[in-house]
Amino acid sequence: MKIAVIGAGAWGTALAVSIGRSSLVSLYGANAELVGSMKQHRENQRYLPGVSLSEGVQVTNILDSALDGASGIVMAVPTKGLRQSVKECQSIVGDGIPYLITCKGFEVDTGLLPFQVVEDVARKARYAILSGPSFARDVGEQKSTVVSLASRDSSTSDVFSGVLLQGGVRTYFNDDVIGVSVGGAVKNVIAIAAGMGDALGIGASALAGLVTRGLSEVCRLGIALGAKPETFMGLSGMGDLALTCFSDLSRNRRLGYALGLGKSLREAEKALGQVAEGVHAANEVMLLARRLKVEMPITVAVTRVLSAEISPRDAAAELFARAPKSEA
């Protein structure tokens, strides 16, 4: 079996390395210089240094070559690039090959979740969604990882579950594509708040409370969109939220921490050097919450900080000064 991985960032590289331990993998990157470096050093020195490419991984900047003979396509591009990437793949392979969607967030301007973007571009395409507590480095280093694999079609999940498991990634199946997608998208916004709070020194107790109330926001929005409540108690809900909010490997947490230290958003993004999906998702989540009349004060606070409307310290003060209410 051959799997094509589209996107040579940290996550795409890690998945290619993992899958490449048992299957043939074509890892596609649009940046010819990066691809050349990876071929020479057998390592992605820019995005995942120290993790060697397994023998089964072929790196290319020619999309036709990456897709030739593939049984599945892993979309490991940021959400903002997903639409164009799917269009390009569809023009070459049509609807015959299933997609594994790994990006998280909402598409800017449309407010669509990643799987909805795929449906919008290719209505007949089959897809599964990978989400849950997992970092690229852990997957690349073959550390045990447990994730959700969501699809309305079990045969699509089966295409990817075996090769993931052989690479050390254990999958649990889920048919709640809305809940899994919302959990993966909104947790990044909450992680920015957690990073800011930690930088401000709010303390472990307040931080735990912040993250718990953040989970409530994830649940409320997901349920309003038609998700199953129990999904948010699982890997793609509570599990992914906990990892993203409390680990220093989290890009969104690190960006929030930089903001909490007084850096501007531009400075924080430059220092990060990678995409923090929560930055792009925050405003879309807020607009969606307003349209659905879902209360999400933490998300609103993060959006106001990202737009430089308010400082992280003032945002924290406002959140903790909110009037007492029922926990439900």
- H-assigned helices in the chain: 10-19, 32-41, 63-67, 79-93, 114-121, 136-140, 154-166, 177-200, 204-224, 240-246, 251-260, 265-272, 277-292, 297-306, 312-320
Residue 58 CB neighbour total at 10 angstroms? 18
**What is the Cα Rg of the chain in Å?**
19
CB 281 within 8 A of CB 106: yes
Active-site residue set: 187
The amino acid at 28? Y
Residue 298 CB neighbour total at 10 angstroms? 23
Burial degree of 182 (CB within 10 A; 0-12, 13-18, 19+):
buried
Most distant pair of Cα atoms in the chain: their distance: 59
Instruction: Give the bridge partners for 60, in sequence order.
Output: 28
What gap in Å lies between CA 296 and CA 86, rounded to an integer? 32
Residue 290 CB neighbour total at 10 angstroms? 12
What gap in Å lies between CA 218 and CA 306, rounded to an integer? 19
What gap in Å lies between CA 168 and CA 123, rounded to an integer? 32
Which tokens belong to 297? Answer: 């004060």
Exposure string of 121-145, with b = 16+ CB inside 10 Å and e = fewer, is bbeebbbbbbbbbbbbbbbbbbeeb
